[in-house]
Amino acid sequence: MLPTCFTETPFAPAAGGVRVAIRLTPRARAGRLEGIVRAADGAPMLKASVAAPPAEGRANDALLALLAKNWGVPRRDLAVVGGAKSRNKSVHVAGDPAELLKRLAAIFAAMPVS
């Protein structure tokens, strides 16, 4: 169950940063952020795809590298904190929550919603 702050956006403030709800598709043709989708319970999630297989954490590592590149944050500031062996993940982005929320809001505003 996602916190209530996830009701409108796939991200929410957390201690020492921001949490982002993600739906990951491994073994895709290429790594990309595809937009915002709704989970079965209606919660918004960032839809992402990576080429790596879901074995030995390779898809998770590829996801974190993709997020770091697209969001302009160091890879060391990202961690999968929920759903490590699931397609539905929770990623923690370390840093100042106010600054991160502003930056992520601008990035997510330009993404398609489905």
CATH number of 59's domain: 3.30.1200.10
Q: Which residues constitute the domain of residue 39?
A: 4-109
Cα distances from 61 to residues 13, 39, 51, in angstroms, run: 23, 23, 11
Degrees, nearest 5: CA angle 92-93-99: 135
For residue 93, tell me if it sits in a domain: yes
For residue 68, tell me if it sits in a domain: yes
Q: How many CB atoms lie within 10 A of CB 47?
A: 19
pTM over 0.95: no
Q: Which two tokens stand for residue 86?
A: 């699931």
Q: What is the per-residue pLDDT for 16?
A: 95
For residue range 22-42, list pLDDT tens digits in order. 999 999 999 999 999 999 899
Asked if the model's pLDDT at residue 80 lies above 70, the reply is yes
Give the DSSP letter of residue 61. Answer: H
For residue 114, tell me if it sits in a domain: no
- Residue-level length of the chain: 114
Q: What is the mean pLDDT of residues 35-60?
A: 94
- Which residue spans within 29-71 are E strands per DSSP? 32-38, 44-49
For residue 86, tell me if it sits in a domain: yes
User: What mean pLDDT is reported for the chain?
Assistant: 90
Closest CA to 54 of 80, 78, 34: 80
For residue 72, tell me if it sits in a domain: yes
How many structural domains are present in the chain? 1
Closest CA to 79 of 94, 66, 69: 94
